[in-house]
Amino acid sequence: MKPIRKLAFVVNEDKPGAHALARELVPIARLAGVKVKQTTRFPLPSGWLKGWDACCVIGGDGTLLGVARESAREQVPIIGVNRGSLGFLTTFSADEARTQFAGLLEGAFRVTHRAMLDCSTGPGTHDLALNDVLIKDEINSRLVRLEVYADDELVTDYTCDGLIFSTPTGSTAYNLSAGGPIIHPSAGVIAMTPICPHTLSNRSIIFRDSVCLRVVNRSPDSRLLVAMDGQRNLKVAATSPIEITIAQPRLPLAQRPDYSHFSVVRTKLKWSGGFVDKR
């Protein structure tokens, strides 16, 4: 990749060690002649990344999700440094950031482009999500009846606690916790996973990435909540269908040249090998 000459920092000061790490990395960038700006605010305001070469996010996956929309719209790669817990998206550890930062500034990374979801809840009301779109009743304890269409073809109707629509990137987030599949980030699909459906036969469904999904509320006494990446909620009119498609912009995510998705999954989910006979 091209050398970085303008680098924005987003630092989550609530994460232990994030501010201290930023104090180490910012001088390295300035010493290399890189123009720097820094914020602790996220989600980012519109236009904050316009014209910048890259954005270094120091925090957890939630911090990166708060930057993802702006990064995708401006096509500014994110360098995610993990100071949180799992760190599926913030793939650089603090030690890796320290030892590899000078190389990163010189372009020693590759960029992968991750699919995002575009969710519309009515005319002029839409948002982007990197991980998932959650649809449920505004009141946690209520069941809802949701009818799902794929390109105007009825899929089925669900009586459930809600539905999760996930990108491949988000398959290891809420989708996985709800029993959905793990999907490789480069797969061109959308996963739909019901939450606690009231029938044993309802399971996750995988759709092609060109599909237009439409969800209709068939519970007359319920108002729906639409949560984007668990961070932002969209308003839904009582009679308005919810449409979900793959968004046109994709998220540019910086990774080490030797990055391995399955190595990350093995480490983060603590996968282990089979039985070892020690006799």
d(CA 28, CA 33): 9
d(CA 174, CA 166): 8
**What phi-psi label fits residue 270: left (phi over 0), alpha (psi between -120 and 50 degrees) or beta?**
left
61 is catalytic: yes
Structure tokens at 235: 């308003």
Neighbours of 162 (CB within 10 A): 25
According to DSSP, the β-strands at 251-255 and 162-166 are unpaired
User: CB–CB of 192/165 below 8 Å?
Assistant: yes
User: CB–CB of 83/59 below 8 Å?
Assistant: yes
Which of 61, 127, 137, 161 is flagged as catalytic?
61
d(CA 242, CA 15): 35
According to DSSP, the β-strands at 54-59 and 6-11 are parallel
Give me the active site residues, please. Answer: 61
